[in-house]
Chains A and B, each alone.
Chain A
Amino acid sequence: AQSVSQHNHHVILSEAASLELGCNYSYGGTVNLFWYVQYPGQHLQLLLKYFSGDPLVKGIKGFEAEFIKSKFSFNLRKPSVQWSDTAEYFCAVSSYGNNRLAFGKGNQVVVIP
């Protein structure tokens, strides 16, 4: 079974600062990788996903993530955050060919205006 690790559960930063959230997974086979965001009071939304091809994936709202197979990592980045990026961010993994997701514990990100 896959497991997903996210570190630094609580992140506080100022507007315009850069954000990087780490995600490591343990699974030796082909995987699909996802980042979801949950804004306060809202449902989980897909930020970006990786299935194959270019390991640098660009998502919505200026977010991007890089898949590094040798490190089993899929880190999320945003060069300059805004107050509206305050949310909880979840990394998720599924095995090739199915849609059952294994989630990390999430990163609670607070952006101070």
Chain B
Amino acid sequence: NAGVMQNPRHLVRRRGQEARLRCSPMKGHSHVYWYRQLPEEGLKFMVYLQKENIIDESGMPKERFSAEFPKEGPSILRIQQVVRGDSAAYFCASSQGESPLAEAFFGQGTRLTVV
């Protein structure tokens, strides 16, 4: 499916800069999940949002990372003062509901490289 749109696909930032990753969910989906995939690792859950609410941010690093899903517009994952260890692929998924019966559809990811 091409429904979940992430941009940019590739992002290069210098250490200390800010990275903003965008995710537009599938039409009709109000639940968004962000995952991070470090090299040679599986995807790790970061944060779960519904419109205007952060429901579960248990996977988010405590500092420099934030996420939002405003009433209008895409969900944004923001990383301030990036460091080399932030280099990873960041995936967004959306669903119609929280239940696993509501299939989560994934975007193609944003590959962040910090130089």
Contact = CB atoms under 8 A, between A and B. Distances in A.
Given A44-B106, A94-B100, A100 B43 contact: no
A32 B100 contact: yes
B42 A100 contact: no
A51 interface: yes
A42 interface: yes
Contacts of B64: none
Main secondary structure of the interface of B (DSSP, over half): loop
Interface string A1-38: 00010100000000000000000000000001000100
A105 B100 CA distance: 21
B106 A99 contact: no
Given A42-B108, A43-B109, A105-B42, A100 B101 contact: no
A103 to B, nearest CB: 4
Contact of B33 (A42, A43, A100): A100
Given A99-B33, A100-B45, A103-B42, A43 B99 contact: no
Interface of B: 1, 4, 31, 33, 35, 40-45, 48, 56, 91, 93, 95, 97-104, 106-109
A101 B45 contact: yes
A51 B107 contact: no
B64 to A, nearest CB: 22
Contacts of A70: none
Contacts of B104: 99, 101
Interface residues of A, number: 24
B107 A43 contact: yes
A97 interface: yes
Contact of B41 (A98, A99, A101, A105): A105
A104 B106 contact: no
Contacts of A42: 108
A100 B56 contact: yes
Given A100-B45, A103-B44, A105-B42, A44 B91 contact: yes
